[in-house]
Chains A and B, each alone.
Chain A
């Protein structure tokens, strides 16, 4: 009886501690997998944004594109009032004609003086005539360049798309005055989409260039596939803002629990599933299958 009792008690302890042991093991494994595998819920779709600015200033005469329109490289975006540039071109052409006439006058003066004998014209006068012809020629060439510039300005009054892409957040309206160099239209380059995955710094050692990545778009059934293109080699130090007179302004940190910083990992998108409209700024969860052994 006593012996049986002992066995039964041992069995009770055995079963309990066995199950508790398994639970502790599984719990630790889950913790390890959760903390130390290369995934993040903090991924963003990015794209190259071209900020189109006119090369000349003027009144916007006509905006020929609409918001979110797909444009091809070289497509007309908007027109700046050309009247001023047409006048400038006329002026430059008139000046060029004047300079041309002056040049021809000086040229014929010089050729006449070169032909007359040395008795009738001094060497100095002849040299002056030659140099004056040279000056007139150079001035004529200068005026021709000004004609070219006036033509270029006229051409640049028609602002064209620098690359294929979508017009985004079009705010430019007919009648606006744009200055040369002012950003007027944003174009989202259509073949430049990539994903930035922000990974905690302790996970970076698990990620290598070329690893396969899967991106699940927030709230959708679509999954993109890609591969790691590169890893950012610098983020700013949040605890060391430059202070007054360029001195370091180091934040005193004495926290026990420290949060890992996020490092951007650039992921090249290899395939986009049919039916998914991809937009720069979308959120996705990124998980990376490490092809290297630990």
Chain B
């Protein structure tokens, strides 16, 4: 993946759009998981959610720098 991405004539690090996309994906996954009742089997839902978001954000970001 490229280091930079150009959106609407502005160049920014690719991390930034990945962050936004990860946030959207996180919202969807969060809804699915709460409907499925997964949070009932989790000790600390807040921590769990944050950890899921970090995973969603870090996996595509790792492809940029290598």
Chain A positions within 8 Å of B, measured between CB atoms, are 8, 11-13, 15-17, 19-20, 22-24, 26-27, 29-30, 33-34, 37, 39, 41, 216, 218-220, 285, 287
Given A12-B41, A16-B47, A26-B59, decide whether A39 and B3 contact each other with a Cβ distance below 8 A. yes
B41 engages A15 (CB within 8 Å): yes
Contacts A15-B42, A39-B65; is A219 near B9 (CB within 8 Å)? yes
Query: Is there contact, CB below 8 Å, between B11 and A20?
Result: no
In the complex, chain A residues whose CB is within 8 Å of the CB of B4: 41, 216, 218, 285
Q: Which residues in B have their C-beta under 8 angstroms from that of A17?
A: 43
Check if A16 sits within 8 Å of B43, measured CB to CB: yes
Q: Contacts of A220 on B, CB cut-off 8 Å?
A: 6
**A30 with B62: CB separation less than 8 A:** yes
Cα A220 to Cα B64 with chains together (Å):
18
Main secondary structure of the interface of A (DSSP, over half): helix
* Contact, CB under 8 Å: B62 / A216: no
Q: Please report the C-alpha to C-alpha distance between residue A27 and residue B62 in the assembled complex, in whole angstroms.
A: 9
CA distance A22 to B4 in the complex (A): 27
Given contacts A8-B41, A218-B11, 14 further A-B contacts (CB under 8 A): A15-B41, A15-B48, A16-B48, A20-B48, A23-B51, A23-B58, A27-B58, A30-B61, A33-B66, A41-B13, A216-B3, A219-B9, A220-B6, A285-B2
Which chain B residues numbered 10 to 66 have a C-beta less than 8 Å away from chain A? 11, 13, 41-44, 47-48, 50-52, 54-55, 58-59, 61-62, 64-66
- With a cutoff of 8 Å between Cβ atoms, the chain B residues found around residue A26 in the complex are 54-55, 58-59, 62
> What are the residues of chain A within 8 A of B2 when measuring CB–CB?
216, 285
Partner of B66, one of A22, A23, A24, A37: A37
Q: Can you sample 7 A-B contacts with CB below 8 Å?
A: A12-B42, A16-B44, A16-B48, A16-B51, A22-B51, A26-B54, A285-B4
From residue B5, how far is it (CB to closest CB) to chain A in Å? 10
Check if B42 sits within 8 Å of A20, measured CB to CB: no
How far is the CB of A21 from the nearest CB of chain B, in Å? Answer: 8
Complex A-B, nearest 6 residue pairs according to Cβ-Cβ distance, in ascending order = A23-B51, A26-B58, A23-B54, A33-B65, A12-B43, A16-B43
Residues of A within 8 A of B62 (CB): 26, 29-30, 33
Given the complex, which residues of B lie within 8 Å of A16, measured CB to CB? Answer: 42-44, 47-48, 51
- On chain A, the residues within 8 Å of B43 by CB distance are 12-13, 15-17
**Closest CB in chain A relative to B6 CB, distance in Å:** 5
- Least CB distance, A166 to chain B, in whole angstroms: 26
B41: which A residues are within 8 A, CB to CB? 8, 11-12, 15
CA distance A12 to B59 in the complex (A): 24
* Interface contact A29-B58, CB-CB below 8 Å: yes
Q: Tell me whether B3 and A41 are in contact (CB under 8 A).
A: yes
Q: Which among A13, A19, A27, A37 has the highest number of chain B CB atoms within 10 Å?
A: A19
Residues of A within 8 A of B47 (CB): 16, 20
CB A199 to nearest CB in B, in angstroms, measures 13
- CB pair A19 B58 closer than 8 Å: no
